[in-house]
């Protein structure tokens, strides 16, 4: 009997002792997490800028106020939403600001190789479109190539698949609402053609896909494509668009390098220009090929951990929205541009980026002056 | 509670606070995992059946989470990975049963958060 009681007490003591020892590190971890910042049910990012171009007054702009929310119906059924207010103010018929639903999709997580996604999707094109939180990229503003060649933030309604095929090889492929060729322009290319999931016309559809390969920890290679018929508003035309993109990211120790190349081809641009000229009286002079690329080098000169964390960077960009013109149309050299950008990103905290840069923006026209810009920004993720 | 299950549960619990480094004469194999928007590296971790490993998780940017999902051994493990420059968190894992166990980021980290997944592969001996 005594032996049985002693054995029982010993078991109880052992379980309690093991339990306490197991809980202690849990508590320690929780306390440490709290010390690093607490996040609520919402996440998001914000950034505001001071932009000053030579000969022009400075502008202070609260550029982006973005809230992300997510919900798990189960471990396999997830919702993610992203709502963005741009330029702080929205009023009917005003162009000053935008309220955009940039993401709102359901993920059906089936396996590592194949998962389904449907809703408002980010186009998986280029480095920035899916990675656009301010602490992620250098420069107060996003790269020009990711603005006028790849129209970030590029989103629309659609559905598709994503997954990881093998070690380091990831993909996504979606069927999405197409671009609207009627809204293409000479200076910003296909940017105006985004339907943004707002009662999108889907007489035609677009197809987009991206593959990323990470053979080693310090190198990521990416390739993207978007293609689709964009002539639903002008059915007699055949203005399909094909965009191809390649990129590479290298990061080792303090050095980070980025490179990206993107080219857009617009079929039937000649008849598109002609058709729009008949409608509005002026030819929009849309190019049949747009091209841009950039290379960026960044070095973490202060690497002692936030708040002793400072990155210096330089970037060269070349971008031309009239790289090739349709027969009979002359390219305007003001749209053949390149830019040198150099600046710093300071991280007082890993999720807060204080940025400053200088931009020398040139064009080939000989008529329009080159521009010098100073930008200062503050962006954060929470 | 079966002894085997008790041991498995205890081993899966966090071993230490971020930044700490356990000192053992002959400890488990250490596997370094880096989290960054929006992937883990490596995203596939192979463990032999019965092998105990120490997963050291650190971040290259924001705070991430590490959760093992599914019904296998380790399901329910969920820790925060401290931000860049703030050390690492340790998860001790034992490959108790052969199979493939998905892990994922459990803290919203940006637009591509749901892409951030990986797999623990427990190979039979």
pLDDT tens string A306-341: 899 999 999 999 999 999 999 999 999 999 999 999
pLDDT of residue B20: 39
pLDDT of residue A34: 43
The strands making up B39-41's β-sheet, listed across from edge to edge, are B14-16, B89-94, B52-59, B29-36, B39-41
H or E element at residue B50: none
- The total domain count for chain A is 1
pLDDT of residue A305: 85
CATH of the domain at A169: 2.40.160.10
- Residue A42 belongs to some domain of the structure: no
Mean pLDDT for the stretch of residues A171-188: 95
- Residue A64 belongs to some domain of the structure: no
pLDDT of residue B14: 41
Question: Is residue A15 predicted with pLDDT exceeding 80?
Answer: no
Q: Does A131 sit within 8 Å of B17, measured CB to CB? A: no
pLDDT of residue A233: 83
What's phi and psi for A35, nearest 5 deg? -65, -20
- Residue A293 belongs to some domain of the structure: yes
Residue ranges making up the domain that contains A250: 110-381
pLDDT of residue A39: 57
pLDDT band at A89 (very low <50, low <70, confident <90, very high): confident
**Backbone conformation region of residue B70, classed left if phi is above 0, alpha if psi is from -120 to 50, else beta:** left
Measured distance CA(A169)–CA(A164) in Å, rounded = 6
H or E element at residue B3: helix B3-12
Q: Does B82 sit within 8 Å of A32, measured CB to CB? A: yes
- Write down the mean pLDDT value for chain A: 89
Mean pLDDT for the stretch of residues A50-75: 94
Tokens found for residue A356: 């400053």
| Cβ pair A143, A150 in contact under 8 A | no
Of A1 and A246, the one with more pLDDT:
A246
pLDDT of residue A103: 95
What's phi and psi for A303, nearest 5 deg? -130, 40
- Residue A34 belongs to some domain of the structure: no
Least confident of B31-45, B71-85, B104-118: B71-85
Q: Does B83 sit within 8 Å of A36, measured CB to CB? A: yes
B-proximal residues of A, 335-364, CB under 8 Å? 349-351
Question: Is residue B12 predicted with pLDDT exceeding 90?
Answer: no
Identify which of A25, A131, A217 has the shortest CB distance to residue B112: A131
- Residue A20 belongs to some domain of the structure: no
pLDDT of residue B2: 45
Q: How far is A47 from chain B (nearest CA, A)?
A: 15
From residue B119, how far is each of A9, A213, A358, B34 by CA, in Å?
41, 17, 43, 14
pLDDT band at A280 (very low <50, low <70, confident <90, very high): confident
- Residue A128 belongs to some domain of the structure: yes
Enumerate the residues of chain B whose CB falls inside 8 A of the CB of residue A171: none
pLDDT of residue A88: 86
B-proximal residues of A, 19-58, CB under 8 Å? 22, 25-26, 28-29, 31-33, 36-37, 39, 43, 45
The fold of the B3-123 domain, in CATH, is: Immunoglobulin-like (2.60.40)
pLDDT band at A366 (very low <50, low <70, confident <90, very high): confident
B-proximal residues of A, 166-225, CB under 8 Å? 167-168, 170, 214, 217
A80 touches chain B (CB under 8 A): yes
Chain A residue closest in CA terms to B39: A168
In Å, how far from its chain's centre is CA A39? 23
Question: Is residue A364 predicted with pLDDT exceeding 60?
Answer: yes
Measured distance CA(B6)–CA(A294) in Å, rounded = 56
**What does the pLDDT look like over A197-253, one tens digit per residue?**
999 999 889 999 999 999 999 999 999 999 999 988 887 888 999 999 999 999 999
Residue A268: is the preceding peptide bond cis (ω within 30°)? Answer: no
Enumerate the residues of chain B whose CB falls inside 8 A of the CB of residue A128: none
What's phi and psi for A218, nearest 5 deg? -95, 5
Place of tokens 């914000």: A46
Q: What percent of chain A has pLDDT over 90?
A: 76
pLDDT of residue A235: 76
Enumerate the residues of chain A whose CB falls inside 8 A of the CB of residue B62: 135, 350-351, 381
Chain B residue closest in CA terms to A251: B60
Mean pLDDT for the stretch of residues A25-45: 56
- Residue A73 belongs to some domain of the structure: no
Enumerate the residues of chain B whose CB falls inside 8 A of the CB of residue A36: 63, 80, 82-83, 86
Measured distance CA(A66)–CA(A92) in Å, rounded = 20
Identify which of A70, A107, A351 has the shortest CB distance to residue B108: A70
pLDDT of residue A94: 54
From residue A138, how far is each of A25, A110, A124, A315 by CA, in Å?
37, 35, 20, 9
B-proximal residues of A, 111-130, CB under 8 Å? 112, 122, 130
């Amino acid at each position: 009997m005594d032996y049985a009681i002693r054995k029982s007490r010993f078991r109880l003591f052992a379980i309690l002792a093991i339990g306490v020892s197991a809980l202690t590190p849990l508590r320690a971890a929780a306390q440490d997490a709290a010390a690093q910042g607490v996040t609520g049910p919402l996440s998001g990012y914000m950034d505001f800028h001071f932009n000053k171009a030579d000969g022009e007054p400075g502008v202070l702009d609260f550029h982006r106020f973005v809230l992300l929310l997510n919900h798990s119906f189960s471990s396999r059924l997830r919702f993610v939403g992203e709502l963005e207010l741009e330029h702080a103010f929205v009023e009917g018929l005003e162009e000053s600001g935008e309220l955009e639903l940039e993401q709102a999709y359901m993920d059906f997580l089936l396996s590592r190789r194949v998962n389904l996604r449907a809703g408002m999707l980010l186009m998986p094109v280029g480095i920035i479109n899916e990675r656009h939180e301010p602490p992620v990229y250098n420069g107060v503003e996003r790269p020009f190539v990711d603005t006028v060649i790849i129209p970030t933030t590029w989103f629309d309604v659609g559905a598709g698949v994503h997954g990881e095929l093998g070690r380091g090889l990831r993909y996504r492929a979606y069927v999405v609402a197409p671009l609207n060729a009627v809204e293409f322009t000479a200076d910003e290319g296909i940017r105006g053609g985004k339907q943004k999931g707002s009662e999108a016309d889907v007489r035609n559809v677009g197809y987009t896909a991206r593959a990323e390969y990470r053979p080693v920890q310090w190198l990521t290679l990416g390739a993207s494509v978007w293609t689709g018929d964009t002539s639903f508003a002008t059915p007699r035309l055949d203005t399909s668009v094909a965009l191809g993109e390649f990129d590479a990211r290298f990061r080792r120790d303090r050095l980070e390098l980025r490179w990206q190349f993107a080219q857009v081809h617009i079929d039937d641009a000649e008849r598109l220009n002609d058709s729009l000229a008949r409608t509005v009286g002026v030819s929009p002079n849309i190019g049949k090929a747009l091209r841009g690329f950039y290379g960026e080098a960044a070095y973490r000169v202060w690497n002692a951990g936030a708040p002793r964390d400072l990155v210096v960077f330089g970037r060269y960009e070349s971008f031309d929205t009239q790289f090739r013109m349709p027969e009979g149309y002359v390219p305007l050299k003001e749209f053949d541009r390149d830019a040198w950008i150099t600046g710093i990103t300071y991280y007082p905290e890993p999720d807060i980026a204080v940025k400053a840069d200088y931009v020398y923006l040139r064009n080939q026209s000989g008529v329009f002056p080159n521009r010098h810009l100073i930008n200062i920004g503050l962006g954060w993720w929470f | 509670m079966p002894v085997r299950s008790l041991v498995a549960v205890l081993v899966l619990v966090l071993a230490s606070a971020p930044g700490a480094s356990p000192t053992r004469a002959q400890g488990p194999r250490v596997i370094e995992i880096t989290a960054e928007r929006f992937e883990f590296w490596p995203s596939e971790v192979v463990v032999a059946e019965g092998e105990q490993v120490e997963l050291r998780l650190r971040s290259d940017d924001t705070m991430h989470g590490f959760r093992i999902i599914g019904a296998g051994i380790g399901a329910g493990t969920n820790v925060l990975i401290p931000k860049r420059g703030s050390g690492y968190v340790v998860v001790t894992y034992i490959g108790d049963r052969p199979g493939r166990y998905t892990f994922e980021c459990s803290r919203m980290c940006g637009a591509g958060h749901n892409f951030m997944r990986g797999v623990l592969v427990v190979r039979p001996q």
